[in-house]
């Protein structure tokens, strides 16, 4: 896969779209929230421009308000659209609804993050693509359908004739996104707005979809406005980047310049937030926990009596020492979470094999004996919003485990322990009487970590501990986890789909694919010399810079 030639020169001609001093306000009951403040961007013909920022930075709102797709928003400023260099510019914010509607889909098309919700489940994908053509080009139904099939072919859908007659639910995620792209391309737009087009897809598919977009962009010569929070993606794809923070455009530069010399403080933080390795070599010693031939099966009912067995984890072996982090990496559905939950006997799957925790066999243990062991193995979840009961104060949440496992301690002792724990994870003391809804995602994750660590566990399962958080917060949480590990000498079983996280804190790593462990070893070793294609794809998705600098000749050629 040759990402290198993605970085060619931005064409300089008159802007296709020019956003001047755009502000967007939302009026709620009590106050008006300013989502976008005075943003100015020029988009040139045939350019790939990326708008970067964390969630809530206003990047999606900017794109949607350009097409007047936010009926509740109050906008000010200008969005000048110039269909060809000779034609007069047209202000999209002040022209009539009919004129904007004529542009949407024909000259400016959009693709969204979640392809399933962007498609109507009641129509075949062929009909949905054909509809665009019927509306904007006045083609007959038959012509439109034929065109739809050829579009599907161009977006790389195999068996386009057959797929055109399929309904969205019959297609895979990658195929669906291809359909959405085909729909966007139906009228050969001059500008394609892609809002996190790959976030909902698996790594290997992500790659293919990006390559497709790039290919099509070159052939069609359209401009692409990419909205994303994924920096490696931006580095490979875009020619110019705009960085947004809290509704403002804080920096705007050619990609290479931005990544090599970020000017604004926030951009620097954003770039630096890509995790650095924080751990050394793992210690020796007997394993604290180990699994042999661990096999997890779900049975899926197919009717009253019939059932189908689904193997989520296929005979996996693993072992983990005290103070060590074992990373399990894989994409969604690879069985990594099932494996981790099974290790703690929290999985609803049927589990076979052997799990040994500090000399005790976990499988076959009585529920009451297991409950007594629980304080020694804890878990931190991915989504900090569903991990805390909304009706309990932080103090109650942290104290619950203590009350259960350390009931001999007095209330005063427990409370001082809670306060100390809050300080250790970097939260103010008065959090103790507050409720989860008053905290941000990163703070909630700290609370969830505190709830696990306060019981002085020996093993902690971290199930995607940072993937629901913004990049700048991710690094802080990872640092906290490493600090806690070193202080309390805990073993971490780290589940993630992101090799950058593995690189930052795992001593050893296991790669899982479709329920099987396909590769394992020391982190550094696996990252440097991956044995399987799958691992290589994961590495490419996580570290663009390393790959680029590994092949410097090409990069220089294209940038000059």
Partner 1 sequence: MSATKSLSPGQRAWMRFKRNRRGVLSLWIFSLAFVISLFAEVISNDRPLIVVYQGETYFPLLQNYPEKTFGGDFETPTDFLDPFIERSIREGSNWAIYPLNRYSFTSLNYFAPSPNPAPPSAVNWLGTDDRGRDVFARLLYGFRTSVLFALALTAIGVVLGIVMGAIQGYFAGRVDLVIQRFIEIWGSVPELYLLIILASVFEPGLLILLVILSLFGWMGLADYVRAEFLRNRALDYVTAARALGLSNLQIISRHVLPNSMTPVIAFLPFRMSAAILALTSLDFLGLGVPSSTPSLGELLAQGKANLDAWWISMGTFGVLVALLMLLIFIGEALRDALDTRRG
Binding site for partner 1 (CB under 8 A): 28-30, 341, 344, 346, 370-375, 377-379, 381-383, 386-393, 400-401, 404-405, 433-435, 437-439, 448, 451-452, 455
Burial (CB < 10 A; 0-12, 13-18, 19+), residue 415, is middle
Burial (CB < 10 A; 0-12, 13-18, 19+), residue 304, is exposed
User: Any idea what the Cα angle at residue 158 is, between residues 153 and 164, rounded to 5°?
Assistant: 65
Instruction: Quote the least distance from Cβ 438 to partner 1, whole Å.
Output: 6
Identify which of residues 375 and 545 has a Cβ nearer to partner 1 in the complex: 375
Instruction: Quote the least distance from Cβ 405 to partner 1, whole Å.
Output: 7
C-alpha dihedral over 288, 326, 309, 205, to 10 degrees? 180
Instruction: Quote the least distance from Cβ 124 to partner 1, whole Å.
Output: 32
Identify which of residues 373 and 522 has a Cβ nearer to partner 1 in the complex: 373
Pairing assessment for the beta strands 240-245 and 48-52 based on DSSP bridges: parallel
Identify which of residues 120 and 389 has a Cβ nearer to partner 1 in the complex: 389
Identify which of residues 30 and 560 has a Cβ nearer to partner 1 in the complex: 30
Instruction: Quote the least distance from Cβ 468 to partner 1, whole Å.
Output: 11
CB 170 within 8 A of CB 202: no
Instruction: Quote the least distance from Cβ 370 to partner 1, whole Å.
Output: 8
Instruction: Quote the least distance from Cβ 279 to partner 1, whole Å.
Output: 24
Identify which of residues 31 and 86 has a Cβ nearer to partner 1 in the complex: 31
Ordered DSSP codes for 491-516: EEEEEES-HHHHHHH-SEEEEEETTE
What backbone torsions phi and psi does residue 544 show, to the nearest 5 degrees? -75, -40
Instruction: Quote the least distance from Cβ 140 to partner 1, whole Å.
Output: 44
Q: Half-sphere exposure (CA, 13 Å, Cβ side) for 215?
A: 13
What backbone torsions phi and psi does residue 325 show, to the nearest 5 degrees? -115, 125
Identify which of residues 68 and 405 has a Cβ nearer to partner 1 in the complex: 405
Identify which of residues 142 and 391 has a Cβ nearer to partner 1 in the complex: 391
What are 355's two structure tokens? 């799990």
What gap in Å lies between CA 165 and CA 179, rounded to an integer? Answer: 12
């Amino acid at each position: 896969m040759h990402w290198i030639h993605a970085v060619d020169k931005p064409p300089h001609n008159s802007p296709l779209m020019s956003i001047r001093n755009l502000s967007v306000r939302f009026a709620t009951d009590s106050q008006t929230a300013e989502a976008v403040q005075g943003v100015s961007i020029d988009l040139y013909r045939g350019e790939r421009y990326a708008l970067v920022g964390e969630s809530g930075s206003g990047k999606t709102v900017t794109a949607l308000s350009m097409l007047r797709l936010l009926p509740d928003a109050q906008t000010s400023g200008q969005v000048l659209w110039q269909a060809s260099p000779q034609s007069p510019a047209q202000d999209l914010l002040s022209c009539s609804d009919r004129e904007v509607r004529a542009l949407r889909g024909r000259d400016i098309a959009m693709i969204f993050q979640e392809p399933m919700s962007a498609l109507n489940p009641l129509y075949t994908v062929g009909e949905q693509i054909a509809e665009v053509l019927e509306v904007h080009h006045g083609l007959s139904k038959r012509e439109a359908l034929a065109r739809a099939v050829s579009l599907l072919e161009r977006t790389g859908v195999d068996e386009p004739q057959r797929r055109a007659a399929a309904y969205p639910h019959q297609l895979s995620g990658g195929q669906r996104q291809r359909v959405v792209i085909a729909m966007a391309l139906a009228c050969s737009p001059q500008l394609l707005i892609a809002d996190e087009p790959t976030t909902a897809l698996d790594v290997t598919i992500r790659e293919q979809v990006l390559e497709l977009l790039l290919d099509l962009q070159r052939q069609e010569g359209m401009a692409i406005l990419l909205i994303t929070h994924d920096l490696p993606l931006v580095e490979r794809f875009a020619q110019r980047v705009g960085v947004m923070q809290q509704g403002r455009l804080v920096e705007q530069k050619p990609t290479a310049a931005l990544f090599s010399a970020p000017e604004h403080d926030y951009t620097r933080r954003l770039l630096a937030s890509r995790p650095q390795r924080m751990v050394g070599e793992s210690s020796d010693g007997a394993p604290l926990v180990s699994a042999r031939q661990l096999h997890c099966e779900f049975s899926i009912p197919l009717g009253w009596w019939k059932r189908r067995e689904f193997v989520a984890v296929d005979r996996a072996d693993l072992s983990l020492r005290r103070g060590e982090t074992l990373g399990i990496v894989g994409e969604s559905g690879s069985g990594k979470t099932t494996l981790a939950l099974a290790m703690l006997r929290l999985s609803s799957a049927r589990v076979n094999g052997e799990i040994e925790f500090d000399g005790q066999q976990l499988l076959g243990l009585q529920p009451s004996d297991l409950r007594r062991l629980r304080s020694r193995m804890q878990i931190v979840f991915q989504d900090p919003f569903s991990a805390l009961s909304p009706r309990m104060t932080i103090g109650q949440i942290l104290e619950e485990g203590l009350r259960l496992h350390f009931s001999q301690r007095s209330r005063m002792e427990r409370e001082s322990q809670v306060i100390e724990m809050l300080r250790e994870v970097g939260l103010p003391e008065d959090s103790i009487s507050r409720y989860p809804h008053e905290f941000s995602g990163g703070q909630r994750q700290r609370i969830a970590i505190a709830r696990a660590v306060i019981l002085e566990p020996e093993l902690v399962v971290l199930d995607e501990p940072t993937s629901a958080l913004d990049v700048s917060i991710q690094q802080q949480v990872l640092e906290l986890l490493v600090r806690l590990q070193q202080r309390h000498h805990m073993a971490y079983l780290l589940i993630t789909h992101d090799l950058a996280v593995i690189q930052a804190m795992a001593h050893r790593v296991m790669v899982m694919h479709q329920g099987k462990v396909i590769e394992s070893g020391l982190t550094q070793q696996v990252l440097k010399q991956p044995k399987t294609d799958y691992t290589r794809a994961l590495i490419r998705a996580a570290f663009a810079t390393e790959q680029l600098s590994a092949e410097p000749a090409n990069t220089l050629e294209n940038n000059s």
